[in-house]
Amino acid sequence: MEPVGHHYVAEASGCDPEIIGRVDKVEQILVRAAAVANVTIWSISFHRFSPNGVSGVVVISESHLSVHTWPELGYAALDIFTCGNDAKPEAAVEYALKGFGAKSMHITEVTRGLEEGDRLFFHSIVTWEETLPTRDGQRRSRAVKRAKHPVRRASRR
């Protein structure tokens, strides 16, 4: 059976504080990321914290895109969960991270709603670090690291 959904959790470092500190910019980036992901938007809610930081969520028929930022640290925590076969969550993640001006990121993909025909659902996890391409299209020299951490199912008796 196909998984029910794909959930991406991204830790974005080196973000542009002038972008991630402005609620209008962060909202614009996440709304556009939803469009890039080919999903349907139902609701949008964003808030700027004093003195810094933006939190927001874009509720989509396929689930959600959410973010919380710390401009003083150049850090953004991004969460994108989609279900269905037409959504492109990877494209949304890449678009948002580029929009935030992230220099490097740690990404975890959780494949959710896996099952083996017994209606007992589980998930698998893949996590890696990478940098975005430079303006000339080349990836920075930092090596991509991938580690797979499958979630084991307890045996039934």
* pLDDT tens sequence across 41-50: 999 999 999 8
| Residue in 63, 64, 66, 141 annotated catalytic | 63
Q: Could you confirm whether 83 is annotated as catalytic?
A: yes
The β-bridge partners of 109 are 8, 126
Structure confidence at residue 1 as a pLDDT band (50, 70, 90): confident
Residue tagged 């992230």 (tokens): 102
| Residue in 66, 68, 123, 124 annotated catalytic | 68
Residue tagged 């990121």 (tokens): 105
User: What was the pLDDT predicted at 132?
Assistant: 64
Structure confidence at residue 147 as a pLDDT band (50, 70, 90): very low
Domain 5-150: CATH architecture, name and number where available: 4-Layer Sandwich (3.60)
